[in-house]
Chains A and B, each alone.
Chain A
Amino acid sequence: GAVVSQHPSWVICKSGTSVKIECRSLDFQATTMFWYRQFPKQSLMLMATSNEGSKATYEQGVEKDKFLINHASLTLSTLTVTSAHPEDSSFYICSAREGLRREGRDTQYFGPGTRLTVL
């Protein structure tokens, strides 16, 4: 089946530093990738939509200069949290869309998530 990986699985950083999170589709080409954020005991919230070779589309309230998204290839998207602060501590999850129909449906496959803790 389609597999999406994320790296790192967890990261701890100091306030003010930047952190890069990678999202890779391992066995398929992802035309679109999505980035979500999830705070404890809450649901997933969409941050941005990333299409290969074009600028990401950010959801209302998400600062594009703070959360830099790059989708340079069909198998890799990166999210960089710039000048991280403690309130950015969260669980970041990516998903990837293959664009093909498997088992009769066009779906998204989620990565395992990255736990970011900003001290």
Chain B
Amino acid sequence: LAKTTQPISMDSYEGQEVNITCSHNNIATNDYITWYQQFPSQGPRFIIQGYKTKVTNEVASLFIPADRKSSTLSLPRVSLSDTAVYYCLVGPDTGRRALTFGSGTRLQVQP
């Protein structure tokens, strides 16, 4: 699986838009980009997945440039409840393989 690099931590305030960028320079042609969210003492939760361009759902948006060597998770108008660790994963679109989690980005939202 492609190695990913994310900022270790980020701080934000309620109501702001948060953008977390992930670098994945050796992404393969058949790799998808998936983001998970994890609250303390809970299992990870799927947020969004994309292959190229832009994907949006009710929770977040995912921006992927043409070269796919990076991606940006965008959380609009964060609230205190968005304080969590966010993981960027890159790999084939199949649940058959185990997921390889990097260090993740610890987002702290303050009032």
Instruction: Enumerate chain A interface residues (CB-CB to B < 8 A).
Output: 4, 6, 32, 34, 36, 43-46, 49, 91, 93, 95, 97-99, 105-113, 115
Main secondary structure of the interface of B (DSSP, over half): loop
The answer on a CB contact under 8 Å between B96 and A97 is yes
Task: Spot the interface stretch: B13-21, B59-67, B99-107.
Answer: B99-107
Name the CB-closest residue of B to A97: B95
Set B44, B93, B95: member contacting A44, Cβ < 8 A: B44
**Contact A95/B43 with A32-B95, A106-B94, A108-B99 known, Cβ cut-off 8 Å:** yes
Set B43, B98, B104: member contacting A111, Cβ < 8 A: B43
The answer on a CB contact under 8 Å between A43 and B87 is yes
B103 contact set on A, CB distance < 8 A: 43
Name 14 interchain pairs, CB-CB below 8 A, sorted by A.
A4-B43, A34-B98, A44-B44, A44-B99, A46-B100, A105-B32, A105-B49, A106-B93, A107-B49, A107-B95, A111-B43, A113-B42, A113-B43, A115-B41
* Bound form: Cα–Cα A118–B76 in Å: 41
Main secondary structure of the interface of A (DSSP, over half): strand
Name the CB-closest residue of B to A59: B98
Interface assignment of B45: CB less than 8 Å from any CB of chain A = yes
* Bound form: Cα–Cα A91–B38 in Å: 13
Complex A-B, nearest 4 residue pairs according to Cβ-Cβ distance, in ascending order? A110-B43, A97-B95, A44-B101, A108-B95
Name the CB-closest residue of A to B32: A105
The answer on a CB contact under 8 Å between B95 and A113 is no
A34 contact set on B, CB distance < 8 A: 98-99
